[in-house]
Amino acid sequence: MVWCSILLYRVLDHLKNYSMKALVNVVDYLSTVAYKLDDLLVQQTTHVSAADLQTAALAQVNSWSPYIFQKRNDVSVNI
Protein backbone atom coordinates (compact mmCIF):
# COMPACT_ATOMS: atom_id res chain seq x y z
CA MET A 1 0.00 0.00 0.00
CA VAL A 2 2.92 2.33 0.68
CA TRP A 3 4.23 1.95 -2.86
CA CYS A 4 0.78 2.95 -4.19
CA SER A 5 0.82 6.22 -2.25
CA ILE A 6 4.41 6.91 -3.37
CA LEU A 7 3.42 6.26 -6.97
CA LEU A 8 0.37 8.49 -6.62
CA TYR A 9 2.53 11.23 -5.10
CA ARG A 10 5.02 11.00 -8.01
CA VAL A 11 2.23 11.06 -10.60
CA LEU A 12 0.65 14.11 -8.97
CA ASP A 13 4.05 15.81 -8.71
CA HIS A 14 4.74 15.22 -12.42
CA LEU A 15 1.25 16.41 -13.29
CA LYS A 16 1.82 19.58 -11.26
CA ASN A 17 5.16 20.22 -12.98
CA TYR A 18 3.65 19.59 -16.41
CA SER A 19 0.72 21.91 -15.64
CA MET A 20 3.03 24.70 -14.49
CA LYS A 21 5.21 24.40 -17.61
CA ALA A 22 2.11 24.42 -19.82
CA LEU A 23 0.79 27.51 -18.04
CA VAL A 24 4.13 29.30 -18.46
CA ASN A 25 4.18 28.39 -22.18
CA VAL A 26 0.62 29.69 -22.67
CA VAL A 27 1.41 32.98 -20.93
CA ASP A 28 4.61 33.33 -22.96
CA TYR A 29 2.73 32.65 -26.20
CA LEU A 30 -0.04 35.11 -25.33
CA SER A 31 2.46 37.82 -24.47
CA THR A 32 4.23 37.27 -27.81
CA VAL A 33 0.92 37.52 -29.67
CA ALA A 34 -0.01 40.67 -27.73
CA TYR A 35 3.37 42.25 -28.56
CA LYS A 36 3.01 41.45 -32.26
CA LEU A 37 -0.55 42.80 -32.36
CA ASP A 38 0.54 45.97 -30.58
CA ASP A 39 3.39 46.44 -33.05
CA LEU A 40 1.02 45.90 -35.98
CA LEU A 41 -1.45 48.39 -34.50
CA VAL A 42 1.30 51.00 -34.09
CA GLN A 43 2.40 50.49 -37.70
CA GLN A 44 -1.16 50.80 -39.01
CA THR A 45 -1.77 53.91 -36.90
CA THR A 46 1.43 55.45 -38.26
CA HIS A 47 0.34 54.72 -41.84
CA VAL A 48 -3.10 56.20 -41.23
CA SER A 49 -1.60 59.28 -39.57
CA ALA A 50 0.77 59.79 -42.50
CA ALA A 51 -2.09 59.44 -44.97
CA ASP A 52 -4.19 61.94 -42.98
CA LEU A 53 -1.28 64.37 -42.94
CA GLN A 54 -0.79 64.05 -46.70
CA THR A 55 -4.51 64.53 -47.30
CA ALA A 56 -4.58 67.61 -45.10
CA ALA A 57 -1.52 69.05 -46.86
CA LEU A 58 -3.07 68.49 -50.28
CA ALA A 59 -6.34 70.08 -49.15
CA GLN A 60 -4.45 73.08 -47.83
CA VAL A 61 -2.48 73.49 -51.06
CA ASN A 62 -5.68 73.08 -53.05
CA SER A 63 -7.32 75.85 -51.01
CA TRP A 64 -4.40 78.17 -51.81
CA SER A 65 -4.42 77.56 -55.57
CA PRO A 66 -7.10 80.14 -56.50
CA TYR A 67 -5.13 82.84 -54.69
CA ILE A 68 -1.85 81.80 -56.24
CA PHE A 69 -3.25 81.82 -59.75
CA GLN A 70 -5.13 85.07 -59.12
CA LYS A 71 -1.94 86.78 -57.95
CA ARG A 72 -0.04 85.55 -61.00
CA ASN A 73 -2.67 86.95 -63.36
CA ASP A 74 -2.87 90.29 -61.54
CA VAL A 75 0.86 90.92 -61.72
CA SER A 76 1.80 93.02 -64.72
CA VAL A 77 5.33 93.14 -65.94
CA ASN A 78 6.66 96.62 -66.77
CA ILE A 79 9.54 96.61 -69.15
Reported pTM:
0.55
Q: CA distances (Å), 36 to each of 24, 40, 41, 42, 78, in order?
A: 18, 6, 9, 10, 65
Residue 77 has a pLDDT of: 52
Span of 5-9, 55-59, 75-79 with lowest mean pLDDT: 75-79
Task: Give the residue, 77 or 44, on which the prediction is more confident.
Answer: 44
Helix or strand (DSSP H, E) at 51: helix 2-74
Return the percentage of the chain with pLDDT > 70, whole number. 81
Q: Is the pLDDT of residue 73 over 60?
A: no
